[in-house]
Amino acid sequence: MLFATFGMCEVACSSSNAGADASIVDAHSSTSGIDAASGHRDSSVSIDLPPTGNCEPFTNLGCGTGKKCTALQQSDGTLALGCAAVGGKGEGDSCTQVMVRSGAASVEVDDDCADGLACFSMQAGASASCHRMCKSDGSQACPNAEICSLVAPGLASVEFCRPTGSCSPVEQTGCAVAQACYWSSSGALCATVGSGKVGDPCVNANDCVAGATCVALSPSRCVAFCSTVGTPGCPTGSTCAAISGVAANANVGYCK
Per-residue pLDDT band at 204 (split at 50, 70, 90): confident
pTM beyond 0.75: no
Per-residue pLDDT band at 86 (split at 50, 70, 90): very high
Q: Residues 70, 102: contact at Cβ < 8 Å?
A: no
pLDDT of residue 165: 66
Q: What is the mean pLDDT of residues 36-61?
A: 57
Tell me, what amino acid is at 255?
C
Q: CA 55, 60, 62, 63 torsion: positive or negative?
A: positive
Q: Among 17-21, 47-51, 64-68, 99-103, name the one with the lowest average pLDDT.
A: 17-21
Q: Which of 124-128, 155-159, 197-201, 241-245 has the highest mean pLDDT?
A: 197-201
Per-residue pLDDT band at 230 (split at 50, 70, 90): confident
pLDDT of residue 186: 63
Q: What is the mean pLDDT of residues 107-132?
A: 88
Instruction: Report residue 212: phi and psi, to 5°.
Output: -135, 165
Give the residue, 94 or 54, on which the prediction is more confident.
94
Q: Residues 81, 155: contact at Cβ < 8 Å?
A: yes
Average pLDDT, the chain: 77
Whether residue 39 is predicted with pLDDT greater than 70 in this model: the reply is no
Give the residue, 75 or 16, on which the prediction is more confident.
75
What are the boundaries of each domain within the chain? 36-120
Whether residue 163 is predicted with pLDDT greater than 90 in this model: the reply is no
Give which of 63, 75, 68 is closest to 132, Cα–Cα.
68
CA 202 – CA 240 distance, rounded (Å) = 20
CA 203 – CA 9 distance, rounded (Å) = 10
Whether residue 118 is predicted with pLDDT greater than 90 in this model: the reply is yes
CA distances from 147 to 45, 71, 132, 250 (A): 40, 18, 11, 20
Per-residue pLDDT band at 7 (split at 50, 70, 90): very low
